[in-house]
Amino acid sequence: MREKILGIIEKNSRVDIKELAVILGVEEIDVVNEMAAMEAEGVICGYHTLIDWEKTSIEKVSALIEVRVTPQRGQGFDSIAERIYKYPEVNSVYLISGGFDLLVTLEGKSLKEISQFVSDKLSTQESILSTATHFILKKYKDHGTILSKKYDDERMKITP
């Protein structure tokens, strides 16, 4: 049941609990308990909203930053990652394989704000060897959702 609940709420966190029980063919109370358990265990980390900021009048700039670091003795990458993710403007921090170590995504009001964050806050950290900043120009798809316009139902209205 867990997997099925997650499959549904990953796409639609606003689904009604009663309806969730109906479409999964289980009791409402079981859904409630399972959701509460998953929240307590930290399986469910939040119920966010996917927003296409492009369609609003609010200016936002986001960037991906590749960061190369020197891992620290005894702590590996964790302590430097923590120093980075504590900044509220940082959206996500991933440790990754390949040519660099950390991938940081960042949101700011302007290019300048982001550049400043990189030069003042990131590059100055001792264990950070280098950074490469990529500004996001257009989001085509985010969190599994295509952000461009939706297509109409092109099927014929009635078919046998």
Site string for other proteins, 124-153 (x = CB under 8 A): -----------------------------x
Rg of the chain (C-alpha set): 21
C-alpha 47/C-alpha 30 separation (Å) is 20
Q: Of the two residues 74 and 144, which places its CB atom closer to other proteins in the complex?
A: 144
- 104 burial (CB, 10 Å; 0-12 / 13-18 / 19+) is buried
Interacting residues of 39 by C-beta distance below 8 A, sequence separation 6+: none
Q: Of the two residues 11 and 60, which places its CB atom closer to other proteins in the complex?
A: 11
| Binding flag, residue 24, other proteins (CB under 8 A) | yes
Q: Which of 4, 68, 83, 121 binds other proteins (CB under 8 A)?
A: 4
Q: Which of 1, 17, 23, 50 binds other proteins (CB under 8 A)?
A: 23
Q: Which of 1, 22, 96, 132 binds other proteins (CB under 8 A)?
A: 22
Helix, strand or coil, per DSSP, at residue 115: helix
C-alpha 55/C-alpha 60 separation (Å) is 11
| Binding flag, residue 19, other proteins (CB under 8 A) | yes
Sign of CA dihedral 44, 10, 89, 102: positive
Please choose, from the candidates 5, 79, 73, the residue with its C-alpha nearest in 3D space to the C-alpha of residue 36.
5
- 110 burial (CB, 10 Å; 0-12 / 13-18 / 19+) is exposed
Total residues interacting with other proteins, rule: CB under 8 A: 15
Q: Of the two residues 19 and 52, which places its CB atom closer to other proteins in the complex?
A: 19
| Binding flag, residue 156, other proteins (CB under 8 A) | yes
Q: Of the two residues 4 and 121, which places its CB atom closer to other proteins in the complex?
A: 4
Chain contacts with other proteins (rule: CB under 8 A): 4, 7-8, 19, 22-25, 153, 155-160
